Amino acid sequence: MKQVNRVVIAGAGIGGLCAALALAKRDIQVVVCEQAVSLGEVGAGLQMSPNAMKVLRELGLEAELSAFAFVPQNAAIRHYKTGEYYLKSPLAEQAEVRYGAPYWHLHRADLHQVLAQACSQAGVELVLNSTVDSYREDKALNQVCVSLDGGREIWGDLLIGADGIRSKVREQMLGKERPTFMGQVAWRGVIPVSDLTVNVKPDACVWAGPGRHFVSYYLRGGDYVNFVAVEERSDWLSESWREEGDIAELKRVFADWHPEVSQLIACAKSTFLWALNGRDELPTWHQGRVVLLGDACHPMLPFMAQGAAMAIEDAYVLAENLARHECHAALVEYEQIRKPRATKVQQMSKANAGLYHMQGGVFGKAKLRALQAAGRFVPNVIQSKLDAVYGHDVTQG
């Protein structure tokens, strides 16, 4: 019989809200504490692969999200100058048939809004302008007391740290430690199609080049194009992990790239610049009546487009285990299920950085050529490499 009846969640991002909704649907009371004054997400796109869509479907969100979705036709890797295809793997209907759920592109703000509305309808309490500063456990009461920055305290049977890579919950649990700068920065932006002067193919496309790559795909039914431009850098001098980007610098860095890239960037009016950070594998994801989720325990480079998907999977597995087991057993099983998978996807994402950036000179380019040859001569070879990621279904576990 479950022992967790009231949960406090630090962070109202995608992972935190998914956990809140999944718990509320299992008749567990939820309070979500969010440091922002109002709910909202910085404008950027998300690739929702079938493994994530299976969870969103189980949470009852697929129909509502469909109004905001764009269905890409292919996953592609192209040469940064010539536009030659190293890989072109079908998505759309073929992905849904192969994996049992669609592959969608969604605007982060749209997914966030739908999740927030669903949480409100499910009775989740959302406390804004409230940062979780610390916590303490009362073993006699089998509860955890969460202290907010304004002096308020909230009690619950469990605290979930879904407060991102700079998680204060993780810091108290495992000690203060700065995230590791991964030697790369990413410009991100969204452009209305009405502003474009170039035709962008309806694919999830990676343009691979020496020391950098560029990603483009449509959002909101094809009304917008999302881009992510990644460049290797030796350091990050800014105190902030995210800041407004310099469009002129972005244009300069990708000036000699294929016209579909350079002309797309020329249409951008604004961009944000992110430092891509990571962490070493944590020794544990839980301690007492406190547990971590998403970027708080397994931040990853975005080169498998699985960051949000892994947090969504975490949320479902954690809620399911808390509904089935007493607290300690639920947290142990959650980590046993999720940690190997999240760690593997982290490793795959890191490996893709080398592929996309042609690292290793001639050898790096040879790897892309081998990928190209495999796609031509071995049917479904690319899909088979992704089966373990996209075909996974935590709702059937």
Where residue 262 sits, what CATH number does that domain have?
3.30.9.30
Query: What average pLDDT does this structure show over 163-172?
Result: 95
List the structure tokens of 376.
Answer: 């031509």
Whether residue 81 is contained in a domain is answered as: no
Q: Are 32 and 119 in contact (CB under 8 A)?
A: yes
Tell me, letter by letter, the H, E, C secondary structure of the chain.
Answer: CCCCCEEEEECCCHHHHHHHHHHHCCCCEEEEECCCCCCCCCCCEEEECHHHHHHHHHCCCHHHHHHHCECCCEEEEEECCCCCEEEEEECHHHHHHHHCCCCEEEEHHHHHHHHHHHHHHCCCEEECCCCEEEEEEECCCCEEEEEECCCCEEEECEEEECCCCCCHHHHHHHCCCCCEEEEEEEEEEEEEHHHCCCCCCCCEEEEEECCEEEEEEEEHHHCEEEEEEEEECCCCCCCCCEEECCHHHHHHHCCCCCHHHHHHHHCCCCCEEEEEEECCCCCCCEECCEEECHHHCCCCCCCCCCHHHHHHHHHHHHHHHHHHCCHHHHHHHHHHHHHHHHHHHHHHHHHHHHHHCCCCCHHHHHHHHHHHHHHHHCCCHHHHHHHHHHCCCHHHC
Whether residue 112 is contained in a domain is answered as: no
| pLDDT tens digits for range 65-75 | 999 999 999 99
What CA–CA distances, in Å, run from 323 to 33, 118, 125, 270, 289?
21, 19, 19, 44, 15
| pLDDT tens digits for range 278-305 | 888 999 999 999 999 999 999 999 999 9
Instruction: Please report which confidence band the pLDDT of residue 87 belongs to, taking 50, 70 and 90 as the band edges.
Output: confident
Whether residue 251 is contained in a domain is answered as: yes
Q: Give the residue numbers spanning the domain of 211.
A: 180-278
Query: What average pLDDT does this structure show over 6-24?
Result: 97
Q: What percent of the chain has pLDDT over 90?
A: 74
pLDDT > 60? residue 353:
yes
Phi and psi at 175, nearest 5°, equal 100, 155
The per-residue pLDDT for 373 is 62
Query: What average pLDDT does this structure show over 31-60?
Result: 90
The per-residue pLDDT for 310 is 98
Residue 205 to residue 196: CA distance in whole angstroms: 17
Query: What average pLDDT does this structure show over 347-356?
Result: 85
pLDDT > 60? residue 306:
yes
Whether residue 204 is contained in a domain is answered as: yes
List, in order, residues 6 or more apart from 144 with CB less than 8 Å away.
8, 135, 136, 137, 138, 155, 156, 157, 158, 159, 288, 289, 290
The per-residue pLDDT for 333 is 98
Average pLDDT score over the chain: 90
Query: What average pLDDT does this structure show over 388-397?
Result: 93
What is the domain count for the chain?
1
End-to-end CA distance of the chain: 19
pLDDT > 90? residue 335:
yes
Q: Which residue has the higher pLDDT, 375 or 17?
A: 17
What are residue 147's DSSP bridge partners? 134, 153
Enzyme catalytic residues: 217
Lowest-confidence segment of 23-27, 112-116, 311-315, 368-372 by average pLDDT: 368-372
Q: Which residue has the higher pLDDT, 354 or 78?
A: 78
Whether residue 244 is contained in a domain is answered as: yes
The per-residue pLDDT for 385 is 73
The per-residue pLDDT for 278 is 87
The per-residue pLDDT for 289 is 97
Instruction: Please report which confidence band the pLDDT of residue 1 belongs to, taking 50, 70 and 90 as the band edges.
Output: very low
Residue 239 to residue 122: CA distance in whole angstroms: 39
Residue with tokens 């592609």: 76
| pLDDT tens digits for range 133-152 | 999 999 888 999 999 998 89
Q: What percent of the chain has pLDDT over 70?
A: 90
Instruction: Please report which confidence band the pLDDT of residue 15 belongs to, taking 50, 70 and 90 as the band edges.
Output: very high
Whether residue 226 is contained in a domain is answered as: yes
Instruction: Please report which confidence band the pLDDT of residue 235 belongs to, taking 50, 70 and 90 as the band edges.
Output: confident
The per-residue pLDDT for 148 is 95
The per-residue pLDDT for 372 is 63
Query: What average pLDDT does this structure show over 41-49?
Result: 83
pLDDT > 60? residue 363:
no
List the structure tokens of 101.
Answer: 């759920």
pLDDT > 50? residue 2:
yes
| pLDDT tens digits for range 173-231 | 999 988 888 889 999 999 999 999 999 999 999 999 999 999 999 999 999 999 999 99
